[in-house]
Amino acid sequence: MRTLSDLLSEGVRGRRVLVRADLNVPLATDDAGVRRITDDGRIRAVLPTLTVLQEAGAKVVVCSHLGRPKGAPEPKFTLAPVAARLAELLDRPVAYATDTVGESAREVVGGLAAGEVALLENLRFNPGETSKDDAERGAFAAELASLAEAYVDDAFGAAHRKHASVYDVPKLLPHVAGGLIVRELEVLKQLTDDPARPYAVVLGGAKVSDKLAVINALLPKVDRLLIGGGMCFTFLAAQGHEVGGSLLETEQIGTCEDLLAAAGDKIVLPVDVVVGNDFSDDAATETVSADAIPAGQKGLDIGPESVKLFAGELAGARTVFWNGPMGVFEYRPYAAGTRGVAEAVAAVDGMSVVGGGDSAAAVRVLGLDETAFGHISTGGGASLEYLEGKTLPGIAALED
């Protein structure tokens, strides 16, 4: 796989370079009705690649998706706020195209001088980006490729998608992997090929079904698998415990029974949980034993004893992978479990990897020191699919 350094060695001054970034940042509407970015971590992550291309004199054309629009423009998914924030972080203007491959895109790209940056509108505003029809997807890719002379993929968070901008464009342009892609692959290979032991994995999030493939892939390889978040209640139900109104996938109870039987002592579950019914910062809560959840209550975080248990399991680990929050951390009464586990992961004397998605967001939202972790992934779903042993279309395209 060719990398950014290979492209730079060939010279990029005055050349148009299309950079596929992952700028899929969370947005919220403020009291004035303005859409604002609530976490700019993904924008910051691609800055090194953009900066080195700028400094080398490239005409940098950035493209990304945002959210899940259905192949047509939707105002709430415009990349306009991202363009403004990117300009602030780069400390220089960013030209913004109001379409993906249309008149605005051609005009903006055509007006770039060496060292300048442009951002195209949301790729998913064009149905060709996500089309399952090869011809439709290929036609959109050809229009994108016509805007540039070389291609850099630095969007690991989209590498598991067979989309035009990550799978088809590399077939049409000289292509290289950006620094984020290279770093992600280095870390994930460590986790799969020869992790230092003991090797512990912490999984959270809502549903067992979302993580079943990665559990099956990792269970033979890990020394401990710690399970929290909403998915833990299906495992607790598989042990015969009442879980009240907590999130429960009844159709997965048998699967969890089989996993627990096969895992021996590898799987570690919470011993207490924080219950409540109100999703707010002033919700009334109670901490109860994991085997005594009241019928009318929902488990919304792991409890303090579970945090101690998980931290103890992580204390001696040499490799840790964490994916998924321990509770509804966005609300203060249910944030302590995720915070406690995150701090325990950060304290690991070895390789600690935060597996992107909500876990990476939690690190930033809770104000934790990002530098305390060995690596914070930029791709939650892509990371999991890699660990499951799947071929990622975006990575396969770069290897051709």
Tens-place pLDDT, residues 206-253:
889 999 999 999 999 999 999 999 999 999 999 999 999 999 999 999
The token pair at 384 is 């999991």
Q: Is 330 among the annotated ligand-binding positions?
A: yes
Strands 117-119 and 150-153: unpaired
Q: Is 71 among the annotated ligand-binding positions?
A: no
Of 197, 207, 221, 318, which residue is the catalytic one? 207
To the question of domain 4-182 being in CATH 3.40.50.1260, the answer is yes
> What whole-number distance in Å separates Cα of residue 277 and Cα of residue 123?
39
Q: Is 278 among the annotated ligand-binding positions?
A: no
- For residue 355, name the pLDDT band (cuts at 50, 70, 90): confident
- For residue 4, name the pLDDT band (cuts at 50, 70, 90): very high
Q: Is 161 among the annotated ligand-binding positions?
A: yes
Lowest mean pLDDT among 257-261, 308-312, 384-388: 384-388
The percentage of the chain sitting over the pLDDT mark of 90, rounded to a whole number, equals 88
* For residues 331-355, average pLDDT: 95
**183 annotated active-site:** no
Whether the per-residue pLDDT at 356 is higher than 80: the answer is no
The pTM assigned to this predicted structure is 0.90
Q: Is 66 among the annotated ligand-binding positions?
A: yes
Of 229, 324, 380, 381, which residue is the catalytic one? 381
Lowest mean pLDDT among 5-19, 129-143, 375-389: 375-389
What is the number of other CB atoms lying within 10 angstroms of the CB of residue 286? 12
Average pLDDT of the chain, as a whole number: 95
The token pair at 221 is 């390889």
Cis ω for the linkage preceding 198 (within 30 of 0): yes
Of 357, 379, 380, 394, which residue is the catalytic one? 357
* For residues 314-318, average pLDDT: 95
pLDDT of res. 302:
98
pLDDT in tens, 61-78: 999 999 999 999 999 999
Decide if 231 contacts 246 (C-beta within 8 A): no
Q: Is 356 among the annotated ligand-binding positions?
A: yes
**381 annotated active-site:** yes
**42 annotated active-site:** yes
pLDDT in tens, 264-303: 899 999 999 999 998 999 999 999 999 999 998 999 999 9
CATH of 195-387, one of 3.40.50.1260, 3.40.50.880, 2.40.50.140, 3.40.50.720: 3.40.50.1260
Q: Is 359 among the annotated ligand-binding positions?
A: yes
**207 annotated active-site:** yes
Residue 118 gets the label, from left (phi > 0), alpha (psi -120 to 50) or beta, of beta
Please measure the distance between the N-terminal and C-terminal CA atoms of the chain and give it in whole angstroms: 8
Of 42, 137, 298, 339, which residue is the catalytic one? 42
Q: Is 67 among the annotated ligand-binding positions?
A: yes
Whether the per-residue pLDDT at 327 is higher than 80: the answer is yes
Q: How far is CA 182 from the centre of its chain?
A: 16
Q: Where exactly are the structural domains of the chain? A: 4-182, 195-387
The token pair at 285 is 């809560």
Which residues lie closer than 8 Å to 246 by C-beta, 6 or more apart?
Answer: 230, 233, 273, 275, 293, 297, 298, 299, 300
Q: Is 85 among the annotated ligand-binding positions?
A: no
Give the bridge partners for 153, in sequence order: 20, 177
What is the number of other CB atoms lying within 10 angstroms of the CB of residue 33? 6
Q: Is 23 among the annotated ligand-binding positions?
A: yes
* For residues 198-206, average pLDDT: 95
Whether the per-residue pLDDT at 123 is higher than 80: the answer is yes
pLDDT of res. 39:
87
Q: Is 65 among the annotated ligand-binding positions?
A: yes
- For residue 196, name the pLDDT band (cuts at 50, 70, 90): very high
Q: What is the DSSP letter of 167?
A: I
Q: What is the DSSP letter of 369?
A: -
Residue 372 gets the label, from left (phi > 0), alpha (psi -120 to 50) or beta, of alpha
- Residue whose pair of structure tokens reads 């959270």 in the numeric block: 204
- For residue 314, name the pLDDT band (cuts at 50, 70, 90): very high
